[in-house]
A and B are shown apart, each in its own frame.
Chain A
Amino acid sequence: MFATIRSTIAFIAFSLATPVFADEAVLTITGLVASPVEGGAWVFDMDGLKALPAESFETETIWTDGPQRFEGVPLFALLEHVGADGGTIRAVALNDYAVSIPSTDAIEGGPIVAYARNGDAMSVRDKGPLWIVYPFDYNDTYKSEEYYSRSIWQLDRIEIVPEE
């Protein structure tokens, strides 16, 4: 057991050595959104996201050990920024895992698109670079399978589709 934990810590320390570059595109938003300046799709790099309103909270998750501090853009603020109004959020991960999040989830005090955990940027090995995290410890409603499934990590792109 001890051995396991020790090797895990060493493993994490190692993995953190792989950074995500700031100018690299990390999130693409398409679908029912306002037309971006470049046209076509909203593409954010880390700096672009960090320029948006930020929020942070501490919570435990079922995938991590102990309380974690997440920092990121509130989902509602991000959608507002891209001019999405209603519809269903279809989030897709790097491994093409996809999930539908009703836009009603995007509220104040709701989920954020986290770009930092415990003050550090998250690598892909560490479920980064982006992770939609609900404040599980603040609202018991979020502690259910439904919301766990919406907590998508290695978030790669978002498409706003008409409401199902």
Chain B
Amino acid sequence: MGKKPITLFAGLLIAGLVFIIYLGRSVIEDLDALSTALHDDISWNMSQLEIETLNLGSAAHSATHDPNSDLSVFRKRYDIFYSRVTTLTQSAFYQAIRDDDEAQASLAATKAFLDVATPIVDSPDDVLRAALSDMQRQIEELRPQVRALALAGIKVFAEAETERRAEFSHTLVKLAASVLSLILLLLAALFILIKLHRRGQQVAHDNQVVRSRFEAAVSSSLDAVLVVDTNGRIVEFNGAAEAVFGFTRAEALGGDMAEMIVPGHLRDMHRKGMARYLETGEQKVIGAGRIRLEALRKSGEVFPVELSISLSEADGERVFVSFLRDITPELEAEEELKTARDKAQESEKAKSDLLTVMSHEMRTPLNGILGSLALIEQDTLNERQKRHLNSISVSGELLLSHVNDVLDLSSLSSDAAPQPKVTFDLREMVQQMADSLAANAQARGNTLTIEFLSDDLGTVCGAKRSLQQCLINLIGNAIKFTSDGVVGLEIERLNDTDLVEIRVSDTGVGIAPENLERIFEEFVTIDTTYARENVGTGLGLAITKRLVEAMEGEIEADSVPGEGSLFTLRLPLRVDRSKARKGGQPVVRTPAQLRAGNRVLVVDDNEINRMILIEMLRNIGFAVDEASDGYEAIEAVSSQRFDVLFLDISMPGIDGIETLDRIRKLDVDWSSLPTIAVTAHAAQKDHEAIAQASFADILVKPVRPEDLQTKLSSVLPSQHMNGDDQKEDVAENQFREQFGEAKYQQVLGAFHSDLADLVATLAGAQVLNQDTRDHAHKLSGSAAVLGERVVHGILQEIEHCDEVEWRDRRDQYIRDLMLGSD
């Protein structure tokens, strides 16, 4: 029920009242008209006229019969009769009679009589007396006329009365109808009022219910509930609040909330906030949800609370409703949990650190063992000794691989920078890896198959080393857990996207479903039956998973025990469209010929390691000096010229980096000599530190002779040396076989002089023009035919590099070319 019906109803009521007042007035007017009696007593007057006629006749008769009679009596009667007629003819009131046809005739006859009689009546007595008998006869004749007049008058007035009555009764009917409708209207109003009243009662009842529910909710709430008015006075304080704050409800009600429960240091802020809200309506705490603050108990104890404040409006008066909870126990529990977590994390880290350090420390003695094994002249040993030596070697390599696994994992766990993306040939990389693992597979009677299912698997961009490591782990596992079966490798690009899917399948023992989830966790080795046969740290898949995640890819495993397993890798490997680029990865170089007779200084605090490295270098043909720490090294370099320096990084006293720093500052011509860092630190961050120092290269322990040669060839200008380790290049061999040594040397000479020209051009070229590119292209072709793969690679890079690359790498290219063609 809105306002509309009430307005409508009021309107109707007023209209009804106005109408009734109007009718009432008209009734009053009618009544008034009745009482005003605009008419005389008609019947009386009309009959009086008749009576006066009779009286006149009688007077005439008396006068006629007595000749001596007083005529004044007759005259008086005549005058009265006359006045009666005059009234009838003069008064406006008798107009209706005068208008009546019948009455008119009678009235005319009466007046005619008066016209004749009056002059006679007014004449002297003798004249009147003479005319009396005649007049008497005339009066007799007039009587029926007067009677007719009286009757007509009565009839006319009766009609008028009837009309008036009808009108009046019509007014009364209207009045009655109005009153009736007004009563109906009032009844309707009453009905509506009753309904409204009932509704009001219902609403009041509902309100009461809601209110009592609310009160029940407040009083039974487990949280302390405080209701505060805008003056900061407490108006409600429930049972829980009593328990929390220590005040009784009676004490709290009406009290200043700020004084009672807000701690001193927050009171000022609270008051300001309240004032600000009242002034600007700006709400900070109100309606902000749960917030944590401190509150004050009656005892003066300050304790932490969680509270929410909402604004409520009742009867136009604003109140703040606060729900508070003492969160002391929660905070304590939270703190305990935090401490426990921190402790757990700490101990976890300590374990991990210990493992890393242990592994790291194991590499140094391993270096000794494996290095020494490499140096043993096997020819001089008998078969039994060789077998033992082989066992030592295999065990040592296995131990090394375990140690490396642990170090890999810890380096992946730390927030090491992800491996850089490079451009490489996926197809080639996979093929090479498969080739290197083919022997392993064969050893267990397995066939290794590779299928490339898409075309776009050539030059791609991605973290090559990580991918390599993943594949080695997966294929290695497949081979390890399969015997006399098939290990399959499928590579497919998914719908021309950047995603490449690599599937490694085997027909091995498989993995039980309940273990499938676990295999990517650390230190998990599944099958104890095979544990003896398949040794491992259980870190391979964990490392693989981390590597895949670092590459933003995903890995999943599927297996049917007894039938085989399938590992699926999905990695973003974008196709690199600048096809000719061989990639940022240093081109694999043929070990350059190392110049014999170079002077080398080996610095290492570990005597065995030092000895092994020295032996290896001497085998190549270098003259080697040694130093056992940084100080000795500095002294040696300051007094003697060396061509290469091998510097151990972790040494007592000053470490390798510091030592190199000092050597660089020495005032000798060779202070900038190429220096190779030797370290057992396999971790990425160590490598970064080393890369920042001015080392030419880095050699990771345990040192292998072939690694040593590669590094040396990269830092030393190459030169034919004894060449016992030089692998002949296939192309070169082919050319020689086809054209003979003489022709080969001639063409080679021409090529080198051509290359020298190009180098001269390049040295002066800030920008690469098309001619120079063409030149480089032509020479790269020649280099390929001649088996000069290093030069071929560099020339190809130059041919396709863009301006920025050219500017950045020009000097490097020129140096590489000079080196490669030396």
Contact = CB atoms under 8 A, between A and B. Distances in A.
Contacts of B87: 63, 127
Contact of B86 (A12, A17, A97, A148): A12
A154 B80 contact: yes
Interface in B15-45: 35-41
A95 interface: yes
A62 to B, nearest CB: 5
A65 B92 CA distance: 6
Given A63-B40, A125-B82, A154-B83, A95 B52 contact: yes
A124 B115 CA distance: 17
B37 A144 contact: yes
Given A63-B93, A144-B35, A4 B82 contact: no
B563 to A, nearest CB: 129
Contacts of B76: 94, 124
A149 B41 CA distance: 8
B40 A126 contact: no
Contacts of A149: 41
B68 interface: no
Given A17-B122, A145-B37, A148-B37, A8 B89 contact: yes
Given A62-B39, A94-B76, A125 B90 contact: no
B91 interface: yes
Contact of B91 (A14, A63, A143, A144): A63
B118 A15 contact: yes
A53 to B, nearest CB: 28
B43 to A, nearest CB: 13
A151 B38 CA distance: 14
Interface in B31-81: 35-41, 48, 51-52, 55, 76, 79-80
Interface size class of A (residues with CB under 8 A): 20 to 34
Contacts of B89: 4, 8, 11
A35 interface: no
Interface string A131-154: 000000000100111001100011
Nearest to B119: A14
Contact of B79 (A4, A11, A18, A145): A18
> What is the interface residue range for chain B against chain A?
20 to 34
Nearest to B45: A63
B111 interface: yes
B35, B48, B86, most chain A CB atoms within 10 A: B86
A103 interface: no
A23 to B, nearest CB: 15
Contacts, number: 74
B464 interface: no
Contact of A126 (B86, B91, B92): B86
Name B's interface SS.
helix
Nearest to A125: B82
Contacts of A95: 48, 51-52, 55, 80
Contacts of A154: 80, 83
A54 B141 CA distance: 45
A15 B84 CA distance: 13
Nearest to A18: B122
Contacts of A17: 122
Interface string B79-111: 110110011011111000010000000000001
A4 B100 CA distance: 13
B114 interface: yes
Nearest to A14: B118
A7 B110 CA distance: 13
A153 B91 CA distance: 14
A11 B111 contact: yes
B91 A62 contact: yes
A65 B40 contact: no
B40 A123 contact: no
Given A4-B98, A64-B91, A95-B48, A15 B86 contact: yes
Interface centre among A15, A62, A64, A97 (most CB of B within 10 A): A62
B83 A125 contact: yes
Contacts of A126: 83, 86
Contact of A143 (B36, B52, B114, B115): B36
Contacts of B52: 95
B110 to A, nearest CB: 11
Nearest to B93: A62
Contacts of A8: 89-90
Contacts of B115: 11
Nearest to A9: B90
Given A11-B114, A15-B118, A148-B40, A123 B79 contact: yes
Contacts of A97: 48
B122 A7 contact: no
A26 to B, nearest CB: 13
Contact of A7 (B40, B41, B80, B111): B111
Contacts of B83: 124-127, 153-154
Contacts of A140: 36
Contact of B41 (A12, A125, A145, A153): A145
B93 A125 contact: no
Given A62-B38, A62-B92, 12 more contacts: A4-B89, A62-B39, A63-B91, A65-B90, A95-B48, A95-B51, A124-B83, A126-B86, A143-B36, A144-B36, A144-B37, A149-B41
18 contacts: A11-B115, A15-B82, A15-B86, A62-B40, A63-B87, A94-B80, A95-B51, A95-B55, A97-B48, A124-B76, A124-B79, A124-B82, A124-B83, A125-B86, A126-B83, A145-B37, A145-B40, A148-B37
Interface of A: 4, 7-8, 11-12, 14-15, 17-18, 62-65, 94-95, 97, 123-127, 140, 143-145, 148-149, 153-154
- List the 6 closest A-B pairs by CB distance, nearest first: A124-B79, A145-B37, A125-B82, A63-B91, A125-B79, A143-B36
